[in-house]
Each structure stands twice: as structure tokens, then as C-alpha cells.
Amino acid sequence: MEAFRKYPLDVLDYTVDATAWLSTADSVTSFTWTVPAPLVNVSQVDVGAKSTVIISGGVDQARYCIEVDISTALGLSKTIKFQIAVYDDQ
């Protein structure tokens, strides 16, 4: 599982792209992000086969699993997971 590092006060964007597994005859109907507390989903923007969320917060020395559930017009679904590791070692 891919992991990204951030500081507790960082407000960063994370993007998923469904283009690689999406057929040309299909389209994304929804992206559902699961962002565990104390991380905060500040905002989300979906454009075509891409979705970007802005995440803030987190506790020093903690790792969080982020999930993105993708649904398509043809009834397909896919879950993408990644981790955010929070460190305050500035």
C-alpha cells in the first residue's frame, strides 16, 4: 500500500485517477472518500475519472488508511487505499 508523509499542520491534496482501469465505454459516477478522524476531509473535487481531496490534521507518529470507493455507470466498483503517515520531526 502506498504511503504519503505529512506534518500535523499540513493541508495537502491527494488525487486518485481511475483512467488506467476504466474502459472507454464507461464513466465514473461517484468517488466516495473515507478519511478517518482526526484527519479532516477539507474539500473534494471530482473531474471525469479523477478525484482530488484536501486533507488536514493528524496526530504525530500516527498512520491513517484512506479509502476511495469508485463506482461507474456500467456498475463496476473499485476501492483504492493508501496511507498517510504523520510526523512532526521538523
For 34-87, write each residue's pLDDT tens digit: 999 999 999 999 999 999 999 999 999 999 999 999 999 999 999 999 999 999
pLDDT in tens, 21-32: 999 999 999 999
Structurally, how many domains does the chain consist of? 1
The domain that holds 51 is classified in CATH as 2.60.40.10
Residue 1: what pLDDT? 81
Q: In whole angstroms, give the CA distance from residue 66 to residue 84.
A: 7
Going from the C-alpha of 78 to that of each of 2, 42, 48, 74, the distances in angstroms are: 16, 23, 15, 12
The residue segments making up the domain with residue 69 are 3-86
Number of CB atoms found within 10 A of residue 86's CB: 21
